[in-house]
Amino acid sequence: MARSVEGRWTAERAPEQSGRTAVVTGANTGIGFETARLLAGLGAGVVLACRDLTKAAGAAARIRDAVPGAEVAALHLDLASLASVRQAATQLAADHPRVDLLVNNAGGVWPRQEVTVDGIERTLATNHLGPFAFTGLVLERMLGVPGSRIVTVSSIGHRRGSIHFDDLQFTRGYQFGPAYFQSKLANLMFTYELQRRLGRPSSAGDASGTATIALAAHPGNARTEFGRRMALPVRTLMRPQFRALTWWLMQSPEMGALAVLRAAVDPDARGGDYYGPPGRAQFTGYPERVRSSDRSRDEDAQRRLWRESERLTGVTYPVGDLSRSTGP
286 is catalytic: no
Q: Which of 38, 41, 13, 42 is nearest to 27 (CA)?
A: 38
**If you write DSSP's letter for every residue of 205-229 in order, what string do you get?**
TB-SS-S-EEEEE---SB-SGGGGG
d(CA 95, CA 160): 40
Q: What is the DSSP letter of 258?
A: H
Report d(CA 198, CA 209) in Å as an integer.
6
Which candidate in 180, 275, 286, 317 is catalytic? 180
Give the integer Cα–Cα distance in Å for 138 and 144: 12
Q: In the sheet where 149-153 sits, what is the strand order?
A: 72-76, 45-50, 21-25, 101-104, 149-153, 213-217, 274-276, 288-289
Q: Which residues are annotated as catalytic?
A: 180
